[in-house]
Amino acid sequence: MLLISCASVRDVVNQLRPPLKPSEAIVQWANQNDAWAQYVLSVFYLSGIAHFPKNNTLARSWLEKSATTGLDLAQMEIGYRYLYGIGLPENKAIAIQWFTKAAHQGFTPAQYQLALLYADADSDIFNLQEAQLWCSLAYRDTVSDEALQKDRDFYNRLSAMPEQDATEQAILHWVTKMQESRVSMSYAINPDNVPDLPCKRLGL
């Protein structure tokens, strides 16, 4: 009588399973606490993309998970939602907390947003010193190469999977657009391209 280990049985079962589609992989990785997958799911549920029906509750839940896991793009979006009361109670203090988390990762839009908030003389948080600090960082800071490589690795893992149909191709297209957007926001601000930068008004 042959004895087969549980590990061997699992290996055989895994080999017989069909390969994951990109849409299936995103769900699996999101449940494994992958911040990028969680963010992608939040966007898909928000807009009703591909296999993911529009669902604002799920969209917010996955966005919050992604922000908590540490994706700067998600932290920035949560901050905006609290700042302007979009699907969340308006709360400037909580918004600043999320902007700050993203800003400390070198995410330029968050640094710029903090500079705007602290440079507003009519605001209850007006603070020139803080505004100057975030302005100076927005001029020179960038997201780390390591973080950007994680973005590329996420896409490369997805693109290596069988697309199978137009829906899966559309999913890869959306992920590509999201990553291109994040990369474009990940480098220091060129003050010549931002005419109303608060840093200029502060003499920086």
pTM of the shown model: 0.81
Calpha distance 83→75 (Å, rounded):
12
* Residue 202 backbone phi and psi in degrees, to 5: -90, 0
Calpha distance 200→197 (Å, rounded):
6
- For 36-92, write each residue's pLDDT tens digit: 999 999 999 999 988 899 999 999 999 999 999 999 999 999 999 999 999 899 999
